Amino acid sequence: MDDLAGPESSSRIAVAVVTMGNRPTEVDALLESVAKQDLAPARIVIVGNGCPLPDYAARLALPGEVTQLELDENLGCPGGRNIALRKLREFDDIDYVVELDDDGLLVEVDVLRRVRALFETEPRLGIVGFRIADEHGVTQQRHVPRIGNADPMRGGHVTSFLGGGHALRTAMLDEIGDWPAAFFFAHEETDLAWRAADAGWRIRYAPELLLRHPKTSPARHAIYYRVTARNRVWLVRRRLPLLLIPVHLGIWTLLTLVRTRSGPGLRAWFGGFMEGIREPAGERRPMRWRTVWQLSRLGRPPVI
C-alpha cells in the first residue's frame, strides 16, 4: 500500500502484549522491534498473565507511555488482552490497538504506520489481520484466514483474523465489546470477528503486515483438545441462528473424527464438547441472516 497516512494524522495507536513470563528473550526482541517502528506508538501496555515482569521501560528504549500490569493469575489470552484494553480506556486517547504474541517479531519498521493508513482509508474497517510467517518466511495454512490451500499473500476482506498479530479499532470495541474472557484459549478470535461482522464492521487480511513467529502446533497446549471443543460449542450457542447450530456442530464433529489421530485427544475433545453443552455459554446474541450471507459471500459460511 503506497498512499500511507502522513505524519499530520492525529490518530493515535497503542501496542498491547500479554506474556506468561516464560519467554523473556522473545519479549525483549518483540519490544525492540516495536521501538524501531517509524510511527511510534502513543502507549505500550504489557500484561504479566499471572507472572511478575521486569522493568521494560528501564531496560529498553521504548517509545510513548509504557504501562506494566502484573496479574495474580493467568486469565488466558482473551482475559489478558481485556486487561490491557481496560487500561487503555482509562487514557481515552487511543484510536487503534495492535495486539502481538509475546514470541512474535515485527520485521519491517513501517508496520504501525501501515496499520494506521489502512484504518484511515476505510472508515468501517474494524480489524486488520497480519500475516504470520516463520523464520524461513513460510506461512502455515492454518494461519491463512481462508478455506483450503489459500495463497497467504492474497489480501482482502475476510471473515476471521489471527490472534498472534492484529489491530483493532477502539470505536468498534466500544460498540461490540471486548474479548470473550471465559474462552481462555481457542476460538476467541472467531467470536470477536462474528460480532464485528454482524455490527457492520469489516475485517481485512493484510499480508504486507508481517509478524515473524516460530512454527508451532496448537496441540502443544495440554488443554488444546478439551478447550477447543468446549469453546466451539459455546461459540455457536452464542452467535449462530438456531437452525445452523446442529449443522455447524455436525460438520465440525465429522472433521474432528477424520483429522484427529490421537485416542486420548479424541476423548478429551468429546469431554470438552459435552462441557460446552452442559455449561452456560454466556450471552446469546445470534448473528442476523444477512450476516450469514455476507460471511458466505466472503468464502466462509459460518457452518465450516
Provide mean pLDDT across the span 136-164: 94
Is residue 2 over pLDDT 50? no
Q: Do residue 83 and residue 205 come from a single domain?
A: yes
Per-residue pLDDT band at 179 (split at 50, 70, 90):
very high
Q: Looking at the domain assignment, is residue 231 inside a domain?
A: yes
Q: The domain that contains 27 carries what CATH number?
A: 3.90.550.10
Q: Do residue 232 and residue 186 come from a single domain?
A: no
Q: Report pLDDT for 304.
A: 83
Q: Report pLDDT for 223.
A: 83
Between CA 16 and CA 44 the distance in angstroms is: 6
- Model pLDDT for residues 234-272, shown as the tens digit of each residue: 999 999 999 999 999 999 999 999 988 889 889 999 999
Specify the pTM.
Answer: 0.94
Q: Do residue 240 and residue 256 come from a single domain?
A: yes
Q: Do residue 82 and residue 172 come from a single domain?
A: yes
Q: Report pLDDT for 231.
A: 98
Range of the structural domain that residue 238 is part of: 219-282
Q: Report pLDDT for 288.
A: 98
Per-residue pLDDT band at 273 (split at 50, 70, 90):
very high
Per-residue pLDDT band at 8 (split at 50, 70, 90):
low
Between CA 251 and CA 303 the distance in angstroms is: 7
Q: Report pLDDT for 220.
A: 52
Cα dist from 170 to 127, 176, 278, whole Å: 10, 10, 34
- Model pLDDT for residues 184-232, shown as the tens digit of each residue: 999 999 999 999 999 999 999 999 999 999 987 665 555 889 999 999 9
In the listed set 165, 186, 216, which residue is the last one of a domain according to the structure? Answer: 216
Q: Looking at the domain assignment, is residue 65 inside a domain?
A: yes
Q: Do residue 125 and residue 192 come from a single domain?
A: yes
Q: Do residue 134 and residue 161 come from a single domain?
A: yes
Paired with 101 in beta bridges are 18
Q: Do residue 97 and residue 131 come from a single domain?
A: yes
In the listed set 176, 201, 216, which residue is the last one of a domain according to the structure? Answer: 216
Provide the domain count of the chain: 2
Q: Report pLDDT for 218.
A: 63
Q: Looking at the domain assignment, is residue 255 inside a domain?
A: yes
* Angle 164-179-221 from CA coordinates, rounded to 5°: 50
Q: Do residue 140 and residue 232 come from a single domain?
A: no
Q: Which of 77-86, 102-111, 220-229 has the lowest mean pLDDT?
A: 220-229
Q: Looking at the domain assignment, is residue 290 inside a domain?
A: no
- State the Cα torsion 32-35-39-42 to the nearest 10°: 130
Q: Do residue 207 and residue 251 come from a single domain?
A: no
Is residue 108 over pLDDT 70? yes
- Model pLDDT for residues 28-61, shown as the tens digit of each residue: 999 999 999 999 999 999 999 999 999 999 999 9
Is residue 21 over pLDDT 60? yes
- Model pLDDT for residues 282-300, shown as the tens digit of each residue: 999 999 999 999 999 999 9
Mean pLDDT of the chain: 94
Contacts of 63 (CB under 8 A, 6+ apart): 34, 35, 37, 40, 41, 44
Per-residue pLDDT band at 4 (split at 50, 70, 90):
low
In the listed set 165, 193, 216, which residue is the last one of a domain according to the structure? Answer: 216
Q: Do residue 83 and residue 162 come from a single domain?
A: yes
Q: Do residue 264 and residue 226 come from a single domain?
A: yes
Q: Do residue 165 and residue 223 come from a single domain?
A: no
